[in-house]
Amino acid sequence: MCGFAGFTNPLSKVQGESILNKMLDPIKHRGPDSNCFYLNDKIAMGHYRLSIIDLEGGKQPRIDKENHHHLLYNGEIYGYKNHAKILNGQGIILEDNSDTEVLFQSLKHFGVEETLKKIDGMFSFVFYESKSDSLWLARDPMGEKPLYYAINNNKVFFSSELSSLATCSNLLSFSIDENSIMSYLNLDYIPKDKTILSGIQKVLPGELIKIQKGNISKKFYYKIDFNFKTSINKYDAISQMDELLSHSVKERLIADVPLGIFLSGGIDSSLIAYYAKKFKNNIKSYTIKMNNDSYDESSYAKLVANSLGIENKVAEFDDEAIISSLDIIEKKLDEPLSDPSILPTFLLSKFAKEEVKVVLSGDGADELFCGYAPFKAINYLKFLSLIPKVVGDKISLYTEKFASKDNYMSYHFLLKHVSRGFGWPNYQQVFRWMSPLSDRDINSLLNKDFINDYEPRKKWDELIFIEENIKLKLPDVLSKLFIDYYLPNDILTKVDRASMYNGLEVRSPFLSKSILTFSQKLPNKYKLANNQTKFILRQLADKILPKSISTRKKHGFAIPLARMIRGPLKERVEDTLLSSSYPVSKYFDRSKLENLIKNHSKGIDNRKPIWAIYMLYKNTERLAKLS
């Protein structure tokens, strides 16, 4: 697990080293164990390493001076030992026992596209073939590991984080992307290949980009496809799920450093804990305890740990811990993300890192097996789409006039957000429920000059585009949207940043290629059945975990944010949102923001718009300082 940065065609060694050092500085946290860089007249490459496999080997950048191949790589290749045997069998000598060497030799001898077909893992890499002047950029199928790039004046810049590229303002032409601001305010994150900075892009999950002599070509070497369902009975499906998950966990337990589990007490992490214990008897788990019962899941985690005989370590997440986590996140976060669960994820990562260097998590199961709460409402979406939008607007407006309790998913909170989706296409409603700002919020809080050409319906249709999947059943449509949007841009980004800021690697067994393929072909009746989400996982859990775990409803990783904004974060938030010194403050109406904060202090729950705007202010301020 690492961080890297680089660019092509450095003008001189002195200039190249200067640029590279600036690019690497913001991502030191991704590789606290060692660093190295390489520079010639065609490419500059720098790398910070978090050593997990073959601690003495695995050094990067990987350079083959004879054939002029170069590799920068971040991540893990699972099952790499089997690939090593194949390479050895073909007479290929490996320099060390790392997965980095296996990837490098595979790319050299089999080519980039063939290698991507063979490997399973979480990764991003840049592979440069000097003789053909070909630069390849690739990212894992689900987007577990990030990769950013920009092209200007025959130079290609690339890095594991946007912050690296922000340091190149004298070489790259970029500014705040106003369309991305709108996307962020609608979704909590910036989707697709865009970033908050115009001219700087993300490599998409499962995407392969080739840049050769100024020409750029893009293709997806992996893409989710729900069009082909298998005919399988329930018992065979459960048996296959058991076998696949067992194998995936076993592969992800391979490490030359201490390893543990993130355990929430939900079905997903509890299943991971069961299989991990099966293969590694002394494994430990790590859990967060909240000081508000409606947010706290630690009692369920304790139940699972006791039933499996796992030592469970618990971190207390109080107001002081929230503020401490926020202090660091604000200074490091490279793209705006308004999911506040990055704070407890950061604390949990910091807590686990005291004893281990790698943890397993249950991420991905909700997207692949219809686990989120909105999937339970799937049979009602068509009816809700028939309710006039004006009714939803009035209900939403009415709920905003009354104070509410700061409890996890209170009825008041649910009614306020679900009503936003009334009258809109069924596949779009769920994302409107989750949106930090309603259309009315956007029209009210942003300056009129900025939104004159902005039309909410058009923007949403551009964001959540479904034409290519129109023949799919609604569960598959929503799953694909969650996989394409929410999983890589929210969940996996949050986990990557929160863990890497602490020098911790997080592995997600549910995101193995074999489980991805299985989930796509699995009939929907084994995902949603009898008003149960994740039906097949519940059936499997029922055989091996306590009944109270297998029947639990989904509980998100949330914090009492509304109360915090009224209390210990109040002054901090007010000082930020009411300041005119931030790069994006010009887009917002200060008087409207002041009313938003005042109403929240009176008990009206405005946590989502306040937090989204706060994180946007802080993030763009950081990027401006870097540039």
Arithmetic mean of pLDDT, 578-590: 96
High-pLDDT (> 70) share of the chain, %: 94
pLDDT of residue 165: 97
Arithmetic mean of pLDDT, 557-565: 84
The SS3 assignment for 122 reads strand
- Parallel, antiparallel or unpaired: strands 311-317 and 284-290: parallel
pLDDT in tens, 34-73: 889 899 999 999 999 988 887 888 889 999 988 889 999 9
Spatial contact of 373 and 553, defined as CB atoms under 8 Å apart: yes
Measured distance CA(383)–CA(422) in Å, rounded: 9
Arithmetic mean of pLDDT, 462-489: 82
DSSP code at position 487: I
Residue 157 — pLDDT band, cuts 50, 70, 90? very high
pLDDT in tens, 407-427: 655 777 778 888 888 998 888
Residue 14 — pLDDT band, cuts 50, 70, 90? confident
Q: 55 or 517: whose pLDDT is higher? A: 517
pLDDT of residue 406: 65
Arithmetic mean of pLDDT, 335-364: 96
The separation between the first and the last C-alpha atoms of the chain, rounded to the nearest angstrom, is 26
DSSP code at position 41: S
Spatial contact of 609 and 445, defined as CB atoms under 8 Å apart: yes
Q: Look at residue 201 and tell me whether its pLDDT is greater than 60.
A: yes
Spatial contact of 113 and 208, defined as CB atoms under 8 Å apart: yes
Measured distance CA(27)–CA(6) in Å, rounded: 12
- Radius of gyration for the chain, computed over Cα atoms and rounded to the nearest angstrom: 24
pLDDT of residue 297: 78
Strands (E), 297-342: 311-317
Q: Look at residue 617 and tell me whether its pLDDT is greater than 70.
A: yes
pLDDT in tens, 431-461: 999 999 998 899 899 998 887 766 655 666 6
Q: Look at residue 213 and tell me whether its pLDDT is greater than 80.
A: yes
- Parallel, antiparallel or unpaired: strands 148-152 and 201-202: antiparallel
Spatial contact of 539 and 267, defined as CB atoms under 8 Å apart: no
Arithmetic mean of pLDDT, 373-387: 89
The SS3 assignment for 395 reads helix
Neighbours of 291 (CB within 10 A): 14
The region of weakest confidence among 123-137, 260-274, 290-304 is 290-304
Q: Hey, what's the torsion of the CAs at 346, 352, 353, 358, to 10 degrees? A: -100
How distant, in Å, are the alpha carbons of 334, 343, 534 from that of 194? Answer: 13, 24, 31
Spatial contact of 512 and 251, defined as CB atoms under 8 Å apart: yes
pLDDT of residue 454: 65
Q: Look at residue 526 and tell me whether its pLDDT is greater than 90.
A: yes
Q: Look at residue 468 and tell me whether its pLDDT is greater than 60.
A: no
Sign, CA torsion 228/536/434/516 = negative
pLDDT in tens, 531-555: 889 999 999 999 999 988 887 776 6
> In the Cβ-directed half-sphere of 23, how many Cα atoms lie within 13 Å?
31
pLDDT of residue 452: 72
pLDDT of residue 419: 86
User: pLDDT averaged over the chain?
Assistant: 91
Measured distance CA(360)–CA(510) in Å, rounded: 10
Phi, psi of 122 (to 5 degrees): -110, 125
pLDDT of residue 126: 98
Q: Which two tokens stand for residue 451?
A: 């939104």
Measured distance CA(381)–CA(399) in Å, rounded: 21
